[in-house]
Every structure is written in structure tokens, then in C-alpha cells.
Amino acid sequence: MSIRKRYTGLIEHYRDRLPVSETTRLISLGEGNTPLIQLQNIPRLIGKDVDIYVKYEGLNPTGSFKDRGMTMAVTKAVEDGSKAIICASTGNTSAAAAAYAVRAGIKAFVLIPEGKIALGKLAQTLMYGAEIIQINGNFDRGMALVKEVADHAPVTIVNSINPFRLEGQKTAAFEIVDELGCAPDYHCLPVGNAGNISAYWKGYKEYSTDTDTHQAVTKTRPIMCGYQAAGAAPFVLGQMVDEPETVATAIRIGHPQSWDLAWAAQKESGGWFNKFSDEQILAAQKMLSQYEGVFCEPASATSLAGALHDISTGKIPEGSKVVCTLTGNGLKDPDSAIKQCEAAHPVTIEASLDAVKKAILDNM
């Protein structure tokens, strides 16, 4: 019997490309190694000859891509002797920070905009036992406060302004190149605080300059496409937005912290930013669920909404290989999902064989 090597997380897997030493205690929950799923029905439906893959980051331990950055950030915080971490969050970062803090045995403080984070994220963060500080202001205000307070209290910031977050998150690009044997032609991402698009670009660039390991890889860098919600689209407008608004609460951000890095990713890759309405985002989320069986949260579907739009206009030409990152699991935001499916709400019938049989035969 052969024993497969146990996967124990992305730091262990990409150890030689990350800032850890032999003696570093790794704070890990087995994150990374997420599925890259090729869409089968949607390309047929839209009648385009394109290979679309979704990188399903919702299958990370806390249900979002944040775990990639958090395993690195918390590992380094602990290595540096930190006893507490802090972040501002639209929900996913707070859940990840809370989980990894528990794992490390340190404290997590999270600032969240009251009433504006999805229920699943709140439930997780409560269960992990983080100190939740709700503010009557949005993410951008929370971020400003976190940056200020870190000068006054012994806490390590674990938002993506912490460079170790991007180090961890860049591994998603490594996984994609490892799996496809090359980079895709286009990489589509939802953009909020803009750490993730910056991290992917860093990852693709690092892998492509490593000729020893990747001699066989022909194409090493994709064109980066950053998609935003129309009500929170500072990169599309070319200026910060003071009152961002969108149903995709994860990316309800008007003052992105990784502003310069994300512009560099766009320019260096020859890519672009675009924005989509809440209706377009929700339609893409529903389409992905109902045609492919993949359930992501609204913000995540912005990547697919953008890809489908740019494929339909020919900006992304036929014959392309496209990867869309699905940043978070659909279960994070049950309210918006149920609201979208109101017309399909289940009816209750009598608990009898006849009634059940009728319900089946009427709906075949």
C-alpha cells in the first residue's frame, strides 16, 4: 500500500518560496490546494469557444481566500512574539483572523461595519471567539482606525497592508500554474481592498522568473482583469469613493489600500478594470450555481460577471484560457441567496405518498 504525502497547508507546500525558516512554528489549518474547476455548461450556453476555470477559494478552511494570507500573517506575528492581532473587515478577513488566532493561542480584535457583513461571516467570527468591535462606519473608516490604533496598542495588523498576507495569497497563482502547466491567458478577480489582485500578480511574476523549476512552462503571466461593483469602483473611476455601496458587501470598499500595487498589476500585465451592477453580479452568482453547481458569495461572482461580459464583447477572444477566482463560499451570505430565490421558495405539502408522488410527477 502506498501512502500519499499528507497535505498540511500552503506554507509547507511552498516553503522555499515563503519567508519562513526551519524553526518557524507554522500556524495552519490546511489551507490552499483548492479546486480549479473547468466550467462545462456555461461556455456552451453562451456559445463561445473559451476555456473558463474557476478557482474555488470558498473551500478554504474558513470559506474564503483570506486563509492563504492569514496563515502567513499569523505565523509571522507569532514568530515575532505578538500576542494579539487586529483587522478591519467586511467579514471574511475577520473570520480568518479569528480562526488563525485561536489556532495560535493569541487574541483577535476585529472591526466590522455594523449591519453590513454577511450572516455566515458574523456567525463564524462569533464562534471562533474573536473580540468583535462593531463600528457605525464603513470598512474604509474601520481600516483608518485600525492603522491609527496599532500605534497605541500592542497589536499586529493582519489586513493586507501586512506584507505577509500577500506572500501567502500569491500561492494561489502558483497552484494554477502547477495545475494548468502554464498561466491562463486572462485572470479575472473581484477587487475590493485590492490586495488579492496584487498578490496574484506577484505570484505569477515570481513563478515566471524561476526558469529552473519551470522550463517547461510556456506562458507564465496572464492579463489581469480586475472587476468591481458599480457602486464601489474606485479603480474604474480613477479616484477614491467616499460612500461605497453594493449588495456584494465583501467588496463594499471605496478607499483600497493596495492602490499602487493593483495599478501596477493592471499596467504590467496589459489588463484592465471594469465595473458591474449588483444585478449583473447576482445574475452571474445564480448562473454559476444553477448551471455548474458551484455556489460562491456575491462578491466572488463579480469575476465571472466580468469575464462573461468581456468574452461576449470579444475583448477576451475565443480560444482563450480564462481563470476566475471565486473568493468566498456561497454559504457565507445565506440572506442574499434566499432573497434571490424567493420565486422558487419551497411549498409545503401533506406528508403522504400521494402528495409527494404528485409533487414529483408534476415537476418532471
Where do contacts with ligand F0G occur on this chain (CB under 6 A)?
A: 64, 66, 89-93, 160, 190-196, 250-251, 297, 299-300, 327-328
149/217 with CB nearer ligand F0G: 149
Grid coordinates of 108? 483577535
Minimal distance in Å, beta carbon 195 to ligand F0G?
A: 4
9/244 with CB nearer ligand F0G: 244
82/329 with CB nearer ligand F0G: 329
Strands (E) located in 124-190: 131-135, 156-157, 186-190
Give the rounded distance of the alpha carbon of 263 from its chain centre.
Answer: 19
Minimal distance in Å, beta carbon 92 to ligand F0G?
A: 3
Contact 315, 104 (CB under 8 A): no
Minimal distance in Å, beta carbon 322 to ligand F0G?
A: 18
Strands 272-276 and 84-88: unpaired
20/143 with CB nearer ligand F0G: 143
Minimal distance in Å, beta carbon 332 to ligand F0G?
A: 7
Calpha distance 302→281 (Å, rounded): 5
DSSP string, 39-91: PSHHHHHHT---EEEEEEGGGSTTSBTHHHHHHHHHHHHHHTT--EEEEE-SS
28/89 with CB nearer ligand F0G: 89
Q: Which amino acid is at 220?
A: T
Minimal distance in Å, beta carbon 255 to ligand F0G?
A: 11
